Amino acid sequence: MDFAKMIDHTILKADATKEDVKKLCEEALEYGFCSVCVNSSFVYYCAQQLKDSDVKVCTVVGFPLGAMSTDGKTAETLAAIEDGAEEIDMVVHVGMIKSRDWDYVKQDIASVVEAADGRAIVKVILETCLLTEEEIITVCQICKEAGAAFVKTSTGFSTGGATVKDVALMRRTVGPVMGVKASGGIRTLEKAKAMVEAGADRLGTSSGAAIVKAQREEEHMAGNRHD
């Protein structure tokens, strides 16, 4: 299993500099990551850095609270795609989930999917640390109905990140037809393995280089033992 191809190499902190983002792109090229995930102001820059490669540009929408208006989310999506984004990670409106306003939640997600219009895939960030199991199941079902490509655990900016339990629940709920992205607190090879075993097929992490280095070292050691 090649973890590199599952990793969205991420930098979303407020004080990330252009130099930090340049390094992110360079590491993505070096290790062959699936994508870089950045705030939308850096999308065009990343698209230029990665234009002759297989590394995709992913950005976040309605981040990190999810409480932006639907019109705001769709506008942000359209602008990001225009700049070169191929993947959109949108945050659900957690307050509307807690209000059980499922029509709003579905319309919010569907509007971003419609704005992406097949030019970019949409991953929906649930912020699972704030949701009950019942809410996670319901939102996963809504994401499926709304045409999202992935459900994703976390922003990494709330009270908790990805857990094996939540990833497994999300995978059981969406079945094999949707992607499940684990993100938030995945900093070691062991944690990455646990998430994949639970059902994740994409990993959002700022520790991608360390994880892949650890995997390659482990494979090297295993190869030496068999010689």
With H, G, I as helix, E, B as strand and everything else as coil, classify residue 183.
Answer: strand
Is position 123 annotated as part of the catalytic site?
A: no
Residue 69: exposure state from Cβ atoms within 10 A (0-12, 13-18, ≥19): exposed
Cα–Cα distance measured from residue 11 to residue 81, given in angstroms and rounded to the nearest whole number: 19
* DSSP H or E run through 38: strand 35-38
Name the strand (E) or helix (H) holding 121: strand 121-125
- Please tell me which residue in 56, 73, 152, 191 is annotated as part of the active site: 152
Q: Which of 89, 123, 166, 191 is catalytic?
A: 89
152 annotated active-site: yes
Separation CA 9–CA 17 (nearest Å):
15
Is 181 labeled as catalytic in the residue annotation?
A: yes
From the list 56, 73, 123, 181, the catalytic residue is: 181
**Would you please indicate which residues are annotated as catalytic (active-site) residues?**
89, 152, 181
